[in-house]
């Protein structure tokens, strides 16, 4: 028997037992489909996360107040108010790689426009905030340095706040709103960046930093808290090539200004977009491996099903095997015939599984989930399905090839 003849005989045997062949392929179909669907979800989540960080700029450091520690007890990040506007100015002046800084003072307050009101995030910033944080204005303009210094009662609104207060997208420049009972004039509206899940940049109102502190009373209070304390400082550096250098420069300046001795922990935390991205990628990598492992188990179970059915098939076709050997078929011909049947079952299941996985990924996208089909994992899962067919089909094939033709012909 040649290879073509072996393939023809194998296909005839599979077609003759259609229902059993389909049921045998189910394990492989589900395994491959699960791999592709699961990985498409994690890939989609990774891509969406990267896009979110890129919207805020990857060349930005975020400096937050540090921790307090008393003996073995440690407070959380931000439990010590150590950052000030003076620190922001020093960073801009003394860090060669830093091109702009944006100190921020944030808090929540009730906002009212006409008969509507909402509770939202109020952020006191300087005129450099849009440049550093990557915000664009949909209308109007950002407040100026003069308005910051004069504690002007002007505001720039996020689109989510506009929708909550005005019932939908609207032109709000010139409108009057009340923040914590203080009347502000709206001078601009931010372009939408989209909800990030853990933070919605559209649901905030920007006001001058001095206004937030002295007119709205935002910011930390209490003994030992600097008068010009801020919630955080955003630092923009020139490009990603100097990210590590910029982080070291900021840490050096702040340690000197805060009189932190060598070997003592920082009272601040410097985080870069690269740190967030790396953490997100690591989380997605773990999820991909987890989902892939679960799906691989399904493939192995499918492979065991193929082996069991092939062993049953060898038993059922013992007389056929004996007859073929009596007519001149070699052990290699018999082994090849049954191995082709096992691999065909596995690859056919893999092919259908790919269609199922891709279809499920697109269905989830229609339902609103971010999915992205990975060609690499399509190839890997299909190849693994072929390997499963060879591995689990080898034992039944070898058993069939080693049957004694006389004993096989006598088998009832």
Same domain, 136 and 250: yes
Among 237, 266, 295, residue at a domain's last position: 266
Q: pLDDT by residue (tens digit) across 102-113? A: 999 999 999 999
Query: Domain range holding 230?
Result: 81-266
Q: How far is CA 304 from CA 157, 294, 394, 395, in A?
A: 61, 16, 12, 11
Q: pLDDT by residue (tens digit) across 154-175? A: 999 999 999 999 988 889 999 9
Same domain, 96 and 155: yes
Same domain, 248 and 308: no
Q: pLDDT by residue (tens digit) across 40-96? A: 888 887 777 766 666 666 688 899 987 544 444 444 444 456 789 999 999 999 999
Among 199, 233, 266, residue at a domain's last position: 266
Overall domain count for the chain: 2
Asked if the structure places residue 124 within a domain, the reply is yes
Same domain, 225 and 152: yes
Q: pLDDT by residue (tens digit) across 181-215? A: 999 999 999 998 877 666 788 999 999 999 999 99
Q: What average pLDDT does the segment 225-254 reach? A: 88
Task: State the pLDDT at residue 82.
Answer: 76
pLDDT at residue 223 tops 90: no
- The mean of the pLDDT values for the chain is 82
Among 233, 266, 299, residue at a domain's last position: 266
Same domain, 256 and 134: yes
Asked if the structure places residue 286 within a domain, the reply is yes
Asked if the structure places residue 67 within a domain, the reply is no
Same domain, 369 and 231: no
Same domain, 102 and 243: yes
Same domain, 209 and 347: no
Asked if the structure places residue 75 within a domain, the reply is no
Same domain, 339 and 262: no
């Amino acid at each position: 028997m040649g290879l073509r003849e072996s393939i023809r005989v194998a296909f005839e045997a599979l077609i003759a037992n259609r229902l059993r062949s389909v049921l045998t392929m189910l394990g492989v179909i589900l395994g491959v489909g699960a791999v592709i669907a699961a990985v498409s979800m994690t890939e989609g989540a990774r891509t969406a996360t990267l896009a979110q960080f890129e919207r805020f700029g990857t060349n930005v450091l975020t400096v937050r107040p540090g921790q307090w520690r008393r003996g073995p007890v440690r407070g959380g990040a931000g439990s010590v108010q150590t950052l000030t506007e003076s620190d922001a100015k020093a960073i801009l002046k003394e860090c060669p790689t830093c091109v702009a800084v944006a100190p921020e003072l944030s808090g929540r307050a009730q906002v009212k426009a006409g008969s509507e009101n909402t509770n939202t995030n109020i952020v006191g910033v300087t005129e450099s905030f849009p440049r550093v944080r990557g915000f664009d204005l949909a209308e109007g303009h950002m407040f100026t340095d003069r308005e910051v210094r004069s504690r002007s009662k002007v505001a720039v609104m996020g689109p989510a706040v506009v929708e909550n207060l005005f019932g939908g997208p609207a032109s709000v420049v010139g409108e009057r709103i009340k923040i914590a009972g203080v009347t502000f004039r709206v001078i601009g509206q931010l372009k939408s960046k989209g909800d990030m899940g853990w933070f919605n940049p559209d649901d905030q109102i920007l006001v001058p930093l001095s206004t937030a502190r002295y007119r709205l009373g935002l910011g930390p209070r209490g003994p030992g808290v600097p008068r010009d304390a801020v919630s955080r400082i955003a630092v923009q550096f020139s490009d990603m090539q100097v990210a590590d250098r910029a982080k070291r420069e900021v840490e050096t300046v702040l340690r000197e200004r805060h009189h932190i001795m060598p070997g003592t922990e920082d009272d601040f935390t410097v985080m870069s977009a690269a740190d967030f991205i790396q953490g997100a990628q690591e989380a997605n990598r773990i999820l991909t491996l987890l989902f892939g492992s679960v799906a691989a188990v399904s493939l192995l179970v499918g492979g065991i099903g193929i082996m069991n059915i092939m062993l049953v098939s060898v038993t059922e076709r013992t007389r056929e095997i004996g007859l073929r050997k009596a007519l001149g078929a070699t052990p290699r011909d018999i082994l090849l015939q049954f191995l082709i049947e096992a691999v065909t079952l596995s690859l056919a299941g893999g092919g259908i599984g790919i269609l199922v996985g891709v279809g499920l990924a697109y269905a989830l996208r229609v339902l609103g989930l971010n999915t992205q089909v990975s060609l690499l994992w399509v190839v890997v899962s299909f190849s693994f399905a072929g390997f499963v067919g060879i591995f689990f089909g080898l034992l039944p094939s070898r058993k069939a090839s080693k049957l004694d033709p006389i004993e096989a012909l006598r088998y009832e």
